[in-house]
């Protein structure tokens, strides 16, 4: 069950562009604009096809797609301190998870149970449009806030701000696991 088609690739690429735009706005790039853009554009198809074609559906590694998709570029394409890069990555992933939880309240339960990729194309387009709009808005607000307070935070404060969304990610992962075991 790979669900590979041009629509999912295109939508995933838009999500990736939103994430990378936020990261580029907040973090200091190692390379000039053109090589950075080229590396970012080449990375997405590679990781997409590795995740979709090489990793089994519903595997642990495939479910960590956001971490693989964004974690590797954050590790190698930016020159900020490790603590800052880690904080920004965790906040971006936590914000993405928050957007997905918001969508869980918007979409009917039938769509959530079957999965958006199993819906008719019109429903997929509607769902992805809503998701892209909310994700773009959330990443814009997040990038603005992180840029505004970047110089006034100490390492200790950065660590505390990183642990807060990380703890929530762990709690939400446990909650989702509980719901998967006990669906009703």
User: Counting Cβ atoms within 10 Å, is residue 169 exposed (0-12), middle (13-18) or buried (19+)?
Assistant: middle
pTM: 0.75
Per-chain mean pLDDT for the chain: 79
Q: What is the pLDDT of residue 1?
A: 44
pLDDT range class, residue 81, cuts 50, 70, 90 = confident
CA dihedral 172, 98, 130, 64 (to 10 degrees): -60
Query: How does residue 24 score in pLDDT terms, banded at 50, 70 and 90?
Result: very high
pLDDT tens across 65-75, in order? 667 788 889 98
């Amino acid at each position: 069950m790979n669900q590979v088609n041009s629509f999912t690739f295109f939508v995933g690429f838009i999500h990736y562009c939103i994430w990378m735009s936020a990261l580029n706005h907040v973090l200091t790039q190692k390379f000039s604009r053109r090589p950075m853009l080229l590396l970012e554009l080449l990375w997405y198809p590679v990781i997409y096809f590795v995740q979709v074609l090489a990793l089994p559906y519903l595997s642990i590694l495939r479910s960590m797609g956001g971490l693989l998709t964004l974690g590797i570029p954050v590790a190698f394409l930016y020159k900020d301190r490790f603590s800052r890069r880690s904080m920004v990555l965790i906040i971006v992933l936590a914000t993405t998870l928050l957007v997905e939880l918001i969508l869980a309240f918007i979409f009917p339960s039938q769509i959530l149970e079957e999965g958006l990729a199993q819906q008719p194309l019109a429903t997929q387009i509607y769902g992805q449009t809503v998701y892209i709009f909310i994700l773009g808005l959330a990443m814009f607000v997040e990038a603005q806030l992180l840029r505004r307070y970047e110089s006034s935070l100490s390492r200790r404060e950065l660590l505390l701000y990183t642990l807060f969304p990380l703890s929530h990610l762990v709690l939400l992962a446990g909650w989702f696991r509980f719901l998967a075991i006990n669906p009703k």
